[in-house]
Amino acid sequence: MLNNIGLPGLLLIAVVVLVLFGRGKISSLMGEVGKGITAFKKGVSDGAKELDDERAEEAKDVTPEDSKDKV
């Protein structure tokens, strides 16, 4: 169904949306979408950093204290 829209159909839809919502409403909506994308990317990077920190913590030296002096 969506394969048959084409460029003229997309332009018509864009014009109708612009007329219905107005330029100000659309720009504020796109600003909110941008903030959401930024927050999502920050959350993903924070999660990845947290996982890396946990892996680094697990990879620390676990040799018992009394065995370290025998070297």
Confidence of residue 70 (pLDDT cuts 50, 70, 90): low
| Residue 13: pLDDT over 60 | yes
Contacting residues for 18 by C-beta, under 8 A, at least 6 apart: 26
Give CA separation, 32 vs 9, 22, 27, 41, in Å.
Answer: 26, 16, 9, 14
More confident residue, 25 or 70: 25
Q: How many residues does the chain have?
A: 71
Q: Give 19-67 pLDDT, tens digit per residue.
A: 888 888 888 888 999 999 999 999 999 999 998 888 887 777 667 777 6
More confident residue, 49 or 68: 49
pTM greater than 0.85:
no
Cα 26 from chain centre: 21
